[in-house]
Amino acid sequence: MTKKNAPTMKDVAREAGVALGTVSKVINGIPVSEEYRSRVLDAIRTLHYEVNTYARGLKTQKTNLIALIIPNTINPFFASFADYIEGALYQRGLKLLLCCADGIPEKEIAYLNLATQNKVDGIVALTYSDVGKYIAKDIPMVVFDRFFDNHIIPRVASDNFAGGCMAVEKLLELGCTHPVYIRFHSVFPGESDKRMDGYLHACKKHGLEPDYLNMEDCPEMLDYMRDFLERHKRADGSLTFDGVFAHTDYHGYHFLRLLRGQGYRVPEDVQIIGFDGIRQFGGEQEDLFVSSICQPVKQLAEKCVEILVAPDRSMVPSLTLLPVSYQYGGTTKREG
């Protein structure tokens, strides 16, 4: 039980000496005589009146609440995405219901159900479950980075394919002749799978033999990396590759440490490019963990919200891909 004594519209009406409906009109910007309008406004001020969201929500079936469903807020990528979503929402007078589902299907579904009825006005989801079937078709929704059978829900993502190509092109440009790809993917299909397609495409284009580690993400990640490294050592200890495109900065960073731990020099012997553009301590001015194909997180968030609140839902593209960009992060050679 919160404030029981908050002033209501009725109080404002009495204070202003007008009818209840008039107060409502003033608040909702419906034409009212200047005289009445200011009297109402005065009353609102003296009473410190604020409309009750719940009464309004009950009446209008609108809440101004948008649910953001992401795995967590610990991962810096999700964390900054959440931050930018909040900013975009705030600008539009919307509020953010943060739902960290931890990749747990039950929790995702619970949060989805919460939204299924009239609890939120829209959903931005980065989920693992195939949310399509759990959600009412009539609540606005946009999916980030994933795709589902249900192709009705608009999707937003980075141009992962172009990013994959870009990573390879960049490595070649910086002098690599044998770039490998190290991928640890989620069991759930998503746009990020296209990074591999981009890698393969670029290899083909440049007449290179693709060479990659392609595993499901798992706790034994480091073992697989170590194993991959062993398999690529020549008798003299030198490596058969000189460039690494890592599926994410996270993986790139761990591979970097592995290499340096074994005495290989980065970027002299091997250059590494990751993906995401995650910065140390999250600060925009801070260094990257590794050179990286950066996702435009802020723009992605902005686009998700823009699509979510689009007045004409029939006009929104089913897929929106935003461009990525390469940034130096210490694990590649400086450009000529």
Residues near DNA (CB under 7 A) are 6, 8-10, 18-25, 27-28, 31-33, 35-36, 49, 51-52, 55-56, 58-60
320: part of which helix (H) or strand (E)?
Answer: strand 319-322
Q: Is 31 exposed, middle or buried (0-12, 13-18, 19+ CB in 10 A)?
A: exposed
CA distance linking residue 18 with residue 38, whole number of Å: 11
User: Phi/psi at 232 (nearest 5 deg)?
Assistant: -110, 20
Q: What angle do CA 170, 191, 222 make, to 5 degrees?
A: 70
Cβ proximity to DNA: between 58 and 319 the closer is: 58
99 binds, among DNA, its own copies, none (CB under 5 to 8 A by kind): its own copies
- Of positions 44, 76, 161, 290, contacts its own copies by CB under 8 A: 76
Question: Around Cβ 19, how many Cβ atoms within 10 Å?
Answer: 11
129 binds its own copies (CB under 8 A): no
What is the rounded distance in angstroms from the CA atom of residue 295 to the CA atom of residue 324?
5
113 binds, among DNA, its own copies, none (CB under 5 to 8 A by kind): its own copies
- Cα Rg of the chain (Å, integer): 26
Least separation in angstroms between residue 98's CB and DNA is 24
Each residue 31-60 as x (binds its own copies by CB under 8 A) or -, in order, gives -----------------x-xxxxxx-xx-x
Q: Using the rule CB under 8 A, is 108 a contact of its own copies? A: no
Which among 214, 234, 236 is positioned nearest to 225, based on CA atoms? Answer: 214
Residue 97 touches which of DNA, its own copies, none (Cβ within 5-8 Å per kind)? its own copies
What is the pairing mode between strands 65-70 and 325-327?
unpaired
* 95 makes contact with its own copies (CB under 8 A): yes
Please report whether residue 218 would count as binding its own copies according to CB under 8 A.
no
List contacts with its own copies (CB under 8 A).
Answer: 1-4, 6, 48, 50-55, 57-58, 60-63, 65, 68, 72-76, 79-80, 82-83, 86-87, 90, 95-100, 107, 113-114, 116-121, 136, 138-139, 249-250, 253, 278, 280-284, 289
